[in-house]
Homo-oligomer: A and B are copies of this chain.
Amino acid sequence: MLSKKTKYALHALTYLGKHKDEKTVLIQDIAEEHGISHKFLENILLELKKAGMLGSKKGKGGGYYLIKEPKDIPLSRVIRLLDGPIALLPCVSLNYYEPCAECKNEAVCGINRVMIQVRDETLKILENKTLDDILREE
């Protein structure tokens, strides 16, 4: 399951996508719309910003805005950023690899091999679905 952080990030991105014509959107507006804590959401938006998904404008009249086309924001990107690995095991993660302590020899581990296949097929799905798909469904 996705963490609340990731879920809230998706809601925020969706909100920003829906208000694309406005210059900026306030944290407060998104937080109120979805009943999310202002401060918690703020941390999330900052992470999205640092990752280059959002732009912001400081000072009075400022706020956040999308700096990418919704079709160029795949779910895989958001999930990796806020939740971490998409792979089901650390030993098959592309971006967060770690060996599994209980596995004597990864090279001949059937679980490892199958999980690589699962990872590749899952990635196909999550790289293919984008913010644009979400917006089209609203």
Contacts and interface: CB of A to CB of B under 8 A. Distances in A.
A89 B1 CA distance: 6
Given A14-B111, A110-B134, A117 B129 contact: yes
B89 A110 contact: no
A101 B89 CA distance: 29
A45 B108 CA distance: 24
A60 interface: no
A1 B102 contact: no
Interface residues of A, number: 41
Interface stretch (A4-12, A19-27, A51-59, A61-69): A4-12
Contacts of A88: 1-2
Given A1-B84, A89-B2, A110 B138 contact: yes
Closest 9 CB pairs between A and B? A110-B137, A110-B134, A110-B138, A113-B137, A34-B102, A2-B88, A121-B125, A114-B134, A114-B133
6 contacts: A2-B89, A7-B89, A75-B114, A109-B137, A118-B126, A118-B129
